[in-house]
Structure 1
Amino acid sequence: MAHQHDHTQIDFAEWLPMLEQEAELFAPVYRQAAGWLREWKPEPELIADVGSGPGVISCLLADAFPQARVVAVDGSAPLLEAARSRAAEHGIADRFSTLEAELADGISNLEYPADLVWSSRTLHHVGDQRAALTEFARRLAPGGALALLEGGLPSRYLPRDIGIGRPGLQSRIDAVQEEWFAKMRAELPGAVEETEDWPALLTAAGLRHTATRTFLLDLPAPVSDEVRAFVATTLTHRREGLADGLDADDLATLDRLLDPDDKASVHHRPDVFVLAAQTVYVGVKPA
Structure 2
Amino acid sequence: MSAHQHTGHDHGQGHGEGHDHGHGHQDKGHGHHDHTHLDWAEMAPLLTAQAETQSPMYAAAADWLASLAPATGAVRRVLDVGSGPGVVTALLAEAFPEAEVVAVDGSPELLALARERADARGLGDRVATLRAELPGDFDRLGTADLVFASNSLHHIGDQGAAVKAFAGLLNPGGVIALAEGGLPTRHLPWNQGIGRPGFEARVDAEHAHWFGEMRAALPDAKDEIDDWAALLTGAGLTPSGTRSFLSDVPAPVPDAVRAQIVAHYTRLREGWAERLDGDDRTTMERLLDPAEPLSLHRRPDLFLLTARTVHTGRKV
When normalised by structure 2's length, the TM-score is 0.85
Q: For the Cα contact (< 8 Å) 2:79–2:102, is it kept in 1?
A: yes
Cross-structure match for 1:38: 66
| Same amino acid, percent of matched pairs | 52
What SS class does the counterpart of residue 306 from structure 2 fall into?
strand
- After superposition, where does 1:104-183 map in structure 2 within 5 Å? 104-111=135-142, 113-183=143-213
Cα deviation for residue 190 of structure 1 reads 1.3
Aligned length: 281
Q: Which moved more, 1:9-18 or 1:185-194?
A: 9-18
In structure 2, distance between residues paired with 1:235 and 1:217: 18
Cα deviation for residue 12 of structure 1 reads 5.0
Q: 1:67 aligns with which of 98, 121, 124?
A: 98
Cross-structure match for 2:22: none
In structure 1, distance between residues paired with 2:85 and 2:66: 24
Q: 1:97 aligns with which of 128, 140, 145?
A: 128
Note the alpha carbon deviations across 1:158-196, whole angstroms, 9 max, x for none.
Answer: 011111111111011001101111111111111111100
Note the alpha carbon deviations across 1:98-117, whole angstroms, 9 max, x for none.
Answer: 11111224342134x20111
Q: For the Cα contact (< 8 Å) 1:50–1:103, is it kept in 2?
A: no
Note the alpha carbon deviations across 1:45-91, whole angstroms, 9 max, x for none.
Answer: 10100111111110111112222111011112221122112112222
Note the alpha carbon deviations across 1:11-50, whole angstroms, 9 max, x for none.
Answer: 2514322221211111011000011112211731101001
1:264 partnered with 2:284:
no
In structure 2, distance between residues paired with 1:172 and 1:10: 25
What SS class does the counterpart of residue 73 from structure 1 fall into?
strand
In structure 1, distance between residues paired with 2:107 and 2:250: 34
> Which residue identity lines up with residue 188 of structure 2 in the other structure?
L
In structure 1, distance between residues paired with 2:242 and 2:66: 14
In structure 1, distance between residues paired with 2:90 and 2:63: 14
Q: For the Cα contact (< 8 Å) 2:135–2:156, is it kept in 1?
A: yes
> Which residue identity lines up with residue 103 of structure 1 in the other structure?
L
Cross-structure match for 1:51: 82
> Which residue identity lines up with residue 23 of structure 1 in the other structure?
A
Cross-structure match for 1:27: 55
Q: For the Cα contact (< 8 Å) 2:274–2:281, is it kept in 1?
A: no
RMSD: 1.6
- After superposition, where does 1:203-222 map in structure 2 within 5 Å? 203-222=233-252
In structure 2, distance between residues paired with 1:70 and 1:191: 30
Cross-structure match for 2:37: 10
Cross-structure match for 2:284: 254
Cα deviation for residue 252 of structure 1 reads 1.6
Q: For the Cα contact (< 8 Å) 1:50–1:74, is it kept in 2?
A: yes
Q: For the Cα contact (< 8 Å) 2:155–2:218, is it kept in 1?
A: yes
Q: For the Cα contact (< 8 Å) 1:105–1:132, is it kept in 2?
A: no
Q: Which moved more, 1:221-230 or 1:128-137?
A: 221-230
- After superposition, where does 1:191-206 map in structure 2 within 5 Å? 191-206=221-236
In structure 2, distance between residues paired with 1:225 and 1:170: 21
Cα deviation for residue 282 of structure 1 reads 0.7
Cross-structure match for 2:16: none
In structure 1, distance between residues paired with 2:98 and 2:274: 49
> Which residue identity lines up with residue 17 of structure 1 in the other structure?
P
In structure 1, list runs of 5 or more residues that go unmatched. Answer: none
> Structure 2 vs 1, CA of residues 190 and 12 (structure 1 numbering), >3 Å: closer, same or farther?
farther
Q: 2:110 aligns with which of 73, 79, 82?
A: 79
Cα deviation for residue 279 of structure 1 reads 0.3
Cα deviation for residue 260 of structure 1 reads 2.1
Q: 2:255 aligns with which of 194, 217, 225?
A: 225
Q: Which runs of 4+ in 1 moved over 3 A?
A: 7-10
Cα deviation for residue 197 of structure 1 reads 0.2
Note the alpha carbon deviations across 1:101-146, whole angstroms, 9 max, x for none.
Answer: 11224342134x2011100000000111111100100000100001
